[in-house]
C-alpha cells in the first residue's frame, strides 16, 4: 500500500477570474442565492461553500472548476455499468473524477474508492473518444489538509483542484496515468 503526502502549498484564485458564463453556471448549480453571494463576494471560501451544498451541487462545482481551467466536461458518464462523476478532457488529457462530498473519510473508504476509480478510468481506453489520451483517475474530496496519493491515485480536496490540474505534469511520475492501446 503506497501513500504519498505532497506538502507544498497550493492556492486557488477562485472566485476571481470568473467569466460571465461561469458565474451563470455556478448560479444554476447552487440554488442558495445567499450562500452564492457570500462566495462570490469572497466572504466565504471555496471549502466553506462546498461544505454547505449538496453532493449533486458538489459534483457540479467540480465540473465548473474544470471548465474554468479550459477543459471540456461530461458528467455522470456511464461505461460498462459503471459511472464516472466528472470527465474533464482536452486534446491530450482526461481527468476521471469521483466526487466525494463526505464529512468524514476513513483510509479504508478512500483506498476502496481509489481502486474503483482506477478501474472505471481504465474502461475509458475502450472508447474511441478517449483511447488515445492519457487518463488520470482521481478522487475530489470536500476536506483534507494535504494532497494525498493513495496507491498512485490522487485524493484532491476541491479547494486544491485548480492548482493540481494546472500543475499535473509535475505529478505524472507519482500517479496513475492510464494510456490507451
pLDDT at residue 12, as a whole number: 41
Cell numbers describing residue 103? 464529512
Does residue 10 sit within a domain?
no
d(CA 49, CA 144): 15
Phi, psi of 22 (to 5 degrees): -65, -40
Range of the domain at 158: 62-179
Does residue 23 sit within a domain?
no
CATH of the domain at 89: 3.40.1350
Does residue 175 sit within a domain?
yes
Task: Name the pLDDT band for 21 (thresholds 50, 70, 90).
Answer: low
d(CA 152, CA 138): 9
Does 9 have pLDDT greater than 50? no
Bridge partner list, 79: 82
- 3-class SS at 66? helix
How many domains does one find in the chain?
1
Does residue 106 sit within a domain?
yes
Does residue 146 sit within a domain?
yes
Does residue 126 sit within a domain?
yes
pLDDT, tens digit (0-9, with 9 covering 90-100), for 67-99: 888 899 999 988 888 889 999 998 889 999 999
- Number of CB atoms found within 10 A of residue 99's CB: 24
Does 152 have pLDDT greater than 90? yes
Give the gyration radius of the chain's Cα atoms: 16
- 3-class SS at 75? strand
Does residue 49 sit within a domain?
no
Does residue 5 sit within a domain?
no
Q: What average pLDDT does this structure show over 6-25? A: 48
d(CA 139, CA 114): 7
Amino acid at each position: 500500500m503506497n501513500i504519498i503526502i505532497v506538502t507544498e502549498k497550493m492556492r486557488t484564485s477562485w472566485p476571481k477570474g470568473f467569466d460571465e458564463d461561469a458565474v451563470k453556471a455556478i448560479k444554476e448549480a447552487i440554488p442558495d442565492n445567499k450562500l452564492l453571494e457570500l462566495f462570490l463576494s469572497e466572504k466565504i471560501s471555496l471549502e466553506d461553500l462546498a461544505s454547505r451544498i449538496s453532493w449533486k451541487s458538489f459534483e457540479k462545482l467540480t465540473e465548473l472548476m474544470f471548465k474554468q481551467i479550459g477543459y471540456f466536461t461530461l458528467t455522470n458518464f456511464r461505461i460498462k455499468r459503471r459511472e464516472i462523476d466528472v470527465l474533464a478532457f482536452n486534446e491530450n488529457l482526461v481527468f476521471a473524477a469521483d466526487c466525494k462530498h463526505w464529512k468524514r473519510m476513513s483510509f479504508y473508504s478512500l483506498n476502496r474508492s481509489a481502486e474503483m476509480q482506477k478501474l472505471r478510468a481504465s474502461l475509458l481506453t475502450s472508447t474511441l473518444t478517449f483511447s488515445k489520451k492519457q487518463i488520470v483517475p482521481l478522487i475530489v474530496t470536500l476536506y483534507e489538509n494535504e494532497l494525498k496519493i493513495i496507491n498512485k491515485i490522487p485524493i484532491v480536496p476541491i479547494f486544491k483542484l485548480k492548482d493540481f490540474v494546472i500543475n499535473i505534469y509535475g505529478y505524472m511520475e507519482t500517479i496513475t496515468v492510464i494510456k490507451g492501446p
